[in-house]
Amino acid sequence: MTSPVYSVDAQCRDCYTCVRHCPVKAIRVENDHASVTPQTCILCGRCVSVCRHSAKQVRDDLPRARALLRRSRSVHASLAPAFVSEFPGVRPAQLAAALKRLGFAGVHETAEGAERVSQEVAALLDRSAAGLFLSSACPVAVELITRYHPAFAANLTSLMPPMLAHAAQLKARFGGDAQVLFIGPCIGKKRDADQAPHLIHTALTFEELRRWLTVTGIDPSDMPDDPDTAPPGAGAFYPIEGGMSRTIRHFLKRRDLDDALLTVSGLDHIAAMLKTLDRHAAGRPLFLELLACEGGCIAGPKAAARNTVTAHLDVLAHARSARPRLPSPADIALAWHPDPVTVPTFTEGQLTVTLHALGKYQKEDELNCGGCGYDSCRALARAVLRHAAEPQMCVSHMRQLAQKKTNALARALPYGLVIADAHLRIMECNERFAGLFGETLATAYEARPGLRDADLTRILPFPHLFRSVLASGHEIIRKSVRIDSRIFSVTVFNVDPRAVVGALILDVTENEQRRLQLIEKSRTVIQNTTRTVQEIAYMLGKNSAQSELILNSAIDMFAAEDADTPEGETCSSST
């Protein structure tokens, strides 16, 4: 089965936002794509929430749930108590009626299972003289402890989370053939369901339920109240911070332990607390309610975006009508075992070599800017060594490399290069550009390489070319520009259309003079050739006329002699 959180590589935009927000760095970057590593992911859902390109997604279990209802008539919904803040203005009985319209045989609040868990925790504290107890109700907090703080796994209460406890209660009530489908704001519940298929068939998020209601055309606010809807159990306080502790106090017999129940919410706060907490130091029972989401389940990753204060008040209003229930006979014991994530260790030599590959040769080079998503340059180096990250994730290093390449290219260019912003303020230029326009500018370049922020309009007399490219968005303009006795070839182009413009400028005065000289010499040759041809033609014409006159004279002479001879006589030569 697909992991509850997975990656769509085609939609990843190489931004490292998910790496930055993942509290356990369960993200692997390979070939510039960030993917979730199921073996190390704790399903907090942060990567899903922060990814603006939907490259991190939650497995869609709605088709599986709908298929279950089509083939079974005994499917019961376990509805997380956060539903009252998820569907404001909808009465619990109306939502129950809507779910039954979808095909559920019964709708029950998970608060019933939460209440049973609280009863067991209270009994555990009542009979304990000392010890640290960590709640096992939040699946994400449990994953954080068993995988990344395994020494505290033994301090987790050996009880099912409310979802599984409620499923066990429902199966005990309706028989083993009954199927249970959970609906709530948590992604982590999907893994719990995957690992306990004998209790939970499918875990849906509120988002999936909303989509289900939409595609079937069911509006809970239009539904009549379901007459079978029962008042909530005392576990209805669970979705808010301190809600579990509040419920436990209701069943606690020892009054000296009222102040021994504390709440820690937020994964960062939990991790920081566990790093400094001595799990053996408690001189009396101490219970810590751990919630991965700050604010409680009402702020879960798949809860509707609402003001948490309003959501908190909605839960309180609903929970005040709760009626404690008698403990059910279902066994909700569950032992938790450490499942540590293996983190390889590396020598200082390995780290040094990797840091050098990241452009970090001195301590001062380790900026620890967090641009890569890791808290420090050394953390990135360790991730590179374990093949979870790539060197190009170091933003400062890549910027330095890009700058070096740009500088090398700019130095090698036979052209003067200048790049300016929309206000024609210089962003970058090469030394050759500065040398084209006099010693003063060249001296200014020596004082401030790149001439950053200099006014280009005060340097070049043709700023209209730059403005034309910026205004039109045309890719390129090539012009020959004369400045006094010098001639420049100017190519203006867009770097960022309408925002950044660049130009390549070459002094072609000498070449232009040579070209003009060549043209003049070619023109002279052509003129001389034409004159020669004309003279030849004239002489040929004159000679032809003279020859024609001579020949005509000869013809006339012979023609006259023939006319003087009488008809019938012949001329004979004298002997």
Does residue 551 have a pLDDT over 80? Answer: no
Say if CB 190 and CB 163 are below 8 A apart.
no
Say if CB 239 and CB 297 are below 8 A apart.
yes
Predicted local confidence at residue 427, as pLDDT? 92
Phi, psi of 549 (to 5 degrees): -65, -45
Does residue 560 have a pLDDT over 70? Answer: no
Does residue 542 have a pLDDT over 50? Answer: yes
Phi, psi of 407 (to 5 degrees): -65, -40
Collect all residues with Cβ–Cβ distance below 8 Å to 355 and sequence separation of at least 6: 361, 365, 366, 377, 378, 381
Helix crossing, 243-251 with 111-126: angle to 10°? Answer: 60
Q: What is the pLDDT of residues 293-318, one digit of tens each?
A: 999 999 999 998 668 899 999 999 99
Q: What global pTM score does this model have?
A: 0.77
Predicted local confidence at residue 454, as pLDDT? 94
- Quote the Cα angle for 332-198-139, to 5°: 55
Predicted local confidence at residue 99, as pLDDT? 98
Mean per-residue pLDDT, 486-514: 88
Predicted local confidence at residue 91, as pLDDT? 95
556 vs 383, more confident: 383
pLDDT grade for 422, boundaries at 50, 70 and 90: very high
Give percent of the chain above pLDDT 90: 68
Phi, psi of 564 (to 5 degrees): -80, -15
Say if CB 184 and CB 303 are below 8 A apart.
no
**Four-CA torsion 23, 25, 27, 30, nearest 10 degrees:** 150
pLDDT grade for 574, boundaries at 50, 70 and 90: very low
Q: What is the pLDDT of residues 32-50, one digit of tens each?
A: 899 999 999 999 999 999 9
Collect all residues with Cβ–Cβ distance below 8 Å to 44 and sequence separation of at least 6: 22, 23, 140, 187, 188, 267, 292, 301
pLDDT grade for 562, boundaries at 50, 70 and 90: low
pLDDT grade for 53, boundaries at 50, 70 and 90: very high
| Residue located via tokens 């101490």 | 286
Mean per-residue pLDDT, 126-137: 94
What is the sign of the dihedral through the CA atoms of 111, 114, 116 and 119?
Answer: negative
Q: Picking from 240-249, 380-389, 394-403, which range would have the lowest pLDDT averaged per residue?
A: 394-403
**Letter for the amino acid at 102?**
L
Predicted local confidence at residue 414, as pLDDT? 86
3-state secondary structure of 336: coil
Predicted local confidence at residue 27, as pLDDT? 96
Predicted local confidence at residue 570, as pLDDT? 46
Q: What is the pLDDT of residues 504-525, one digit of tens each?
A: 999 888 876 676 667 777 777 7
CA distance 465 to 555: 78
3-state DSSP of 452-476 = CCCEHHHCCCCHHHHHHHHHHCCCE
Q: Where are the beta strands (DSSP E) in 143-206?
A: 179-184, 202-205
Mean per-residue pLDDT, 113-133: 94
pLDDT grade for 571, boundaries at 50, 70 and 90: very low
Of residues 265, 266, 235, the one with CA closest to residue 249: 235
The CATH code belonging to domain 1-59 is 3.30.70.20
Token digits of residue 368: 């620890």
Collect all residues with Cβ–Cβ distance below 8 Å to 336 and sequence separation of at least 6: 136, 142, 146, 153, 156, 158
pLDDT grade for 532, boundaries at 50, 70 and 90: confident
3-state secondary structure of 551: helix
Mean per-residue pLDDT, 344-363: 94
Predicted local confidence at residue 449, as pLDDT? 85
Say if CB 138 and CB 292 are below 8 A apart.
yes
Does residue 573 have a pLDDT over 50? Answer: no
475 vs 122, more confident: 122
Give percent of the chain above pLDDT 70: 95
Mean per-residue pLDDT, 235-259: 93
CA distance 240 to 27: 29
pLDDT grade for 285, boundaries at 50, 70 and 90: very high
- Which among 80-89, 538-547, 550-559 has the top mean pLDDT? 80-89
Does residue 572 have a pLDDT over 70? Answer: no
Predicted local confidence at residue 564, as pLDDT? 57
Distance from CA of residue 145 to its chain's centroid?
A: 28
Say if CB 28 and CB 80 are below 8 A apart.
no
Q: Which H or E run contains 179?
A: strand 179-184
Does residue 378 have a pLDDT over 50? Answer: yes
Kindly report the average pLDDT of the chain as a whole number.
90
The domains of the chain are located at 1-59, 60-319, 344-402, 413-507
Predicted local confidence at residue 537, as pLDDT? 75
Does residue 558 have a pLDDT over 80? Answer: no
Q: 413-507: what CATH class?
A: alpha beta
